[in-house]
Amino acid sequence: MNSSGAKQVLQMAAMRLGFQACRVARADFLAEEAPSLDAWLAKGYHGSMAYMENHYEKRLDPRKLVPGAKSVISLAYNYFPEKDLADGEKPRIAKYAYGEDYHRVVKDKLFELLDSLRESLGAMEGRCFVDSAPVMERAWAQRSGLGWVGKNSLLLRKNEGSFFFLAELIVDYDFTPDTPVADHCGTCTRCLDACPTGAIISPEVVDSSRCISHMTIELHGALPESHKAAISPWVFGCDICQDVCPWNRHAKSHTEPRFTPNEWPDWTAEDWTEMTEETFGRVFGKSALTRRGLEGIRRNLGAGRLES
């Protein structure tokens, strides 16, 4: 099969599995991105995520992860909910964590995609990644033309916004690469202006130690006193910089049943506060919230005075 035919097979298989977009970049060393990564790490902007310092070469060169790699396939999977559940001062969860853990949902799709490609195109070595290995997913997505990196450091797609997961297949098949797209943020600074902790230091540069998502999920130990008022009522993640983005006015609801939340949307602050380990396991057992655990959620609940 010629390269254009193989690319069509790839894109049709991705769409059939529910991905909203699929693009390809050549698997090379990320020479342009290396200085930015170095500077970000040197300034300590990775916060408590010490693991970001590990596997440096693998972060910049996909051929270190998949020997013989020729293509990095970047995919987008929509998670924008039908209803925004952020309600007054009730405890809030970032939209990406409303339902089942995306690592499970999207990786299942990736495995299906890789199997489908092997069936259609023949032997193919590769690995699937969903925010679970040293892969600079936004850099690869931008290189492939899946979107552009906005000022809040998240990938944006014109007329779609940013409420989607990124996923990658790194394979030893030589798919025809796509080309990058233009940046469409223009002079807009709404995300920078809206961040209550000033985590967005400059366009595309986020100080994780100030980021509400980092503090409510990654940070262990006590929350910074200086940011407690800004953190409340978020108990897991944060959507502020995405909610204010003009491109997200175009976001359309996902069609993934595994992302549908169960009983917790009706909970009051009192319900959250009185939650037991048994209840947490029953309601959030398949959720990304297990990453933080009930103890961490209780800590975040105490960030400010929550009223039902």
**Residue 141 shares a structural domain with residue 111:** yes
**Residue 123 shares a structural domain with residue 221:** no
Task: Give 149's strand partners.
Answer: 155
- The two tokens of residue 171 are 């394979």
What average pLDDT does range 75-80 have in this prediction?
A: 98
Q: What is the pTM of this model?
A: 0.93
**Residue 40 shares a structural domain with residue 153:** yes
Q: Is 36 helix (H, G, I), strand (E, B) or coil?
A: helix
Pick the catalytic residue from 28, 131, 243, 271.
Answer: 131
- Residue 180 lies inside a defined structural domain of this protein: no
Domain count of the fold of the chain: 2
Report residue 54 CA to chain centroid gap: 20
Longest dimension (CA), the chain: 62
Range of the domain at 237: 190-247+263-301
Please give the Cα distance from 36 to 44 (Å, whole number).
13
Q: What is the pLDDT of residue 308?
A: 37
Identify whether 131 is a catalytic site residue: yes
**Residue 21 shares a structural domain with residue 113:** yes
Q: Grade residue 306 by pLDDT with cuts at 50, 70 and 90.
A: very low
**Residue 156 shares a structural domain with residue 234:** no
Please give the Cα distance from 167 to 140 (Å, whole number).
10
- CATH code of 87's domain: 3.40.109
**Residue 165 shares a structural domain with residue 211:** no
**Residue 94 shares a structural domain with residue 13:** yes
- The two tokens of residue 159 are 């007329």
Q: How does pLDDT run across 91-144, given as a tens digit for each residue?
A: 999 999 999 999 999 999 999 999 999 999 999 999 999 987 889 999 999 999
Please give the Cα distance from 180 to 273 (Å, whole number).
47
Residue 3 corresponds to which amino acid?
S
**Residue 210 shares a structural domain with residue 167:** no
What average pLDDT does range 158-164 have in this prediction?
A: 97
**Residue 92 shares a structural domain with residue 198:** no
37 to 30, 64, 136, 153: CA distances (angstroms): 10, 17, 10, 13
Report residue 39 CA to chain centroid gap: 22
**Residue 149 shares a structural domain with residue 292:** no
